[in-house]
């Protein structure tokens, strides 16, 4: 049970997220037959609205799932869900908005023809903040040893589906030896990403990050950094194949994700990386914050 209040909205019905919602025959529950997106707010404005919708449409297309709603309709439902959340938790700061879509329910069986219509569940809670310890020392990562990232030829990691078993089991392994998160390799032994974040390193003054062809989710944060945020910080990004044998030649490491934007990594197994003031990651994080502030200012229609 969550220890803090999470507001849910199932197909337009508002309820606490601890209460029952979708039926047992729901295909998201039975087979992971689902897709999702997570937005966060900066200054009370939903960030990167269109980018997340574009990725959701790609995921839906890949799964042959017909989306039955519009961004305008869902924005309206997000507003209702956020209003309900705020009436339960007054004074909440930046928000996390999860939009989980399933193929619906039907008789038991894998055939997608058995599904009725798409279901959605929205969930709103506070956006998790970086703890002072992580800001100061960075995360501790460990390379996953027992499992590899599922290859694009089977379940493509670029689809943001409701099936996170690969990621979840990778995280379990590294948590068991005390790490915060894992670096997952592909079948060729190349770095892909962490359990719910993209990864980048700093070599010299350059940011290096695995290419999409390594088999990763095309993170919105990663894309924004590559398409402009790095440039505004005077930094260069290169998409390169990275192997664990390259780690000693790197000076910094960081993770990228919607909820946490740029998070410093202080340690990967026995290797330590620079964290804190004066690092490339801190410069990039500041540049990302300026970009997000500008986005919020220029999108008053996404204020919630
Ligand atoms: N990789 C994986 C596997 C993820 O789950 C996520 C977060 N959903 C990311 C990367 C980061 O993506 P984004 O920047 O769009 O949050």
Predicted confidence pLDDT, tens digits, the chain (304 residues): 567 999 999 999 999 999 999 999 999 999 999 999 999 999 999 999 999 999 999 999 999 999 989 999 999 999 999 999 999 999 889 999 999 999 999 999 999 999 999 999 999 999 999 999 998 999 999 999 999 999 999 999 999 999 999 999 999 999 999 999 999 999 999 999 999 999 999 999 899 999 999 999 999 999 999 999 999 999 999 999 999 999 999 999 999 999 999 999 999 999 999 999 999 999 999 999 999 999 999 999 999 9
Return the best residue to mutate from 149, 163, 196, 200 for the ligand 1 pocket (most ligand atoms within 8 A of CB): 196
Q: Are 209 and 227 within one domain?
A: yes
Q: Which residue(s) pair with 254 in the sheet?
A: 200, 264
Dist. CA 114 → ligand 1 center (Å): 30
**Does residue 168 belong to any structural domain of this protein?**
yes
Q: Indicate which atom in ligand 1 lies nearest the CA of residue 217.
A: 1
The residues near 78 (Cβ < 8 Å, ≥ 6 apart) are 46, 97, 99, 122, 124, 304
CATH number at residue 234: 3.20.10.10
Confirm or reject: Cβ of 196 under 6 Å from ligand 1.
yes
191 contacts 212 by C-beta, under 8 angstroms: no
Q: Do 103 and 175 fall into the same domain?
A: no
- CA 186, CA 243: separation in Å to the nearest integer? 10
Cα distance between the two ends of the chain = 27
Name the maximum alpha-carbon separation found in the chain: 58
Tell me if 182 CB under 6 Å of ligand 1: no
CA 32/CA 288 separation, integer angstroms: 33
Q: How many domains does the chain have?
A: 2
155 shares a domain with 79: no
Both structure tokens of 126: 């506070």
Nearest CA to ligand 1 atom 5: 196
**Cα 93 to averaged position of ligand 1 atoms, centre (Å):** 22
Say how far residue 132 (Cα) sits from the centre of its chain: 21
Verify whether ligand 1 is closer than 6 Å to residue 220 (CB atom): yes
* pLDDT for residue 264: 98
Q: CA distances (Å), 51 to each of 38, 56, 77, 267, 293, in order?
A: 11, 9, 19, 31, 17
40 lies in the same domain as 172:
no
Residue nearest to atom 8 of ligand 1 (CA): 196
- The pLDDT of residue 275 is 97
Tell me the pTM: 0.97
Q: Which CATH number goes with the domain that contains 86?
A: 3.30.470.10
From 97, 126, 155, the end of a domain falls on 126
**Is the same domain home to 96 and 174?**
no
One domain for residues 108 and 154: no
Domain holding 173, by residue range, is 132-295
pLDDT of residue 1: 54
Q: Report pLDDT for 197.
A: 98
**Which stretch of DSSP H or E encloses residue 87?**
helix 71-88
Q: Are residues 140 and 260 in the same domain?
A: yes
Q: Is residue 300 part of a domain?
A: no
- Indicate if ligand 1 lies below 6 Å from the C-beta of 258: yes
Query: What pLDDT score was predicted for residue 239?
Result: 98
Q: How far is the CA of 231 from the centre of ligand 1 (A)?
A: 21
Do residues 159 and 35 lie in contact, with contact meaning Cβ atoms separated by under 8 Å? yes
Distance 171 CA to ligand 1 centre (A): 14
Distance 157 CA to ligand 1 centre (A): 10
Q: Looking at the structure, tell me whether residues 223 and 251 fall in a common domain.
A: yes
At 3 the pLDDT is 75
Mutation probe of ligand 1 site: the residue of 219, 227, 261, 285 with most atoms within 8 A of C-beta: 219
pLDDT at 2: 63
Distance (Å, whole) CA 28 – CA 87: 29
Domain finish residue from 91, 126, 161? 126
């Amino acid at each position: 049970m969550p220890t803090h209040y999470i507001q849910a909205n199932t197909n337009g019905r508002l309820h606490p997220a601890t209460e029952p919602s979708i039926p047992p025959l729901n295909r998201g529950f039975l087979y992971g037959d689902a897709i999702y997106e997570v937005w966060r707010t900066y200054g009370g404005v939903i960030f990167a609205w269109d980018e997340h919708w574009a990725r959701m449409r790609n995921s839906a297309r890949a799964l042959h799932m017909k989306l039955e709603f519009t961004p305008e309709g869902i924005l309206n439902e997000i507003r209702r869900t956020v209003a309900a959340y705020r009436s339960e938790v007054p004074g909440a700061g930046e928000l996390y908005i999860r939009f989980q879509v399933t193929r619906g329910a039907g008789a038991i069986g894998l055939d997608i023809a058995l599904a009725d219509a798409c279901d959605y569940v929205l969930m709103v809670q506070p956006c998790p903040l970086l703890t002072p310890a992580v800001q100061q020392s960075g995360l501790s990562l460990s390379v996953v040893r027992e499992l590899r990232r599922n290859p694009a030829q089977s379940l493509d990691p670029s689809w943001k589906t409701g099936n996170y078993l690969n990621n979840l089991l990778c995280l379990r392994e590294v948590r068991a030896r005390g790490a915060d998160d894992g670096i997952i390799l592909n079948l060729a032994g190349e770095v892909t990403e962490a359990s719910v974040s993209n990864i980048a390193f700093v070599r010299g003054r350059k940011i290096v990050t695995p290419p999409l062809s390594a088999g990763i989710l095309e993170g919105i944060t990663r894309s924004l950094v590559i398409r402009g945020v790095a440039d505004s910080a005077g930094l260069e990004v290169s998409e390169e194949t990275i192997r664990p044998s390259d780690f000693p030649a790197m000076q910094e490491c960081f993770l990228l994700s919607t909820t946490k934007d740029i998070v410093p990594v202080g340690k990967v197994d026995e290797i330590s990386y620079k964290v804190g003031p004066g690092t490339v990651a801190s410069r990039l994080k500041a540049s990302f914050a300026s970009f997000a502030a500008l986005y919020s200012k220029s999108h008053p229609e996404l204020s919630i």
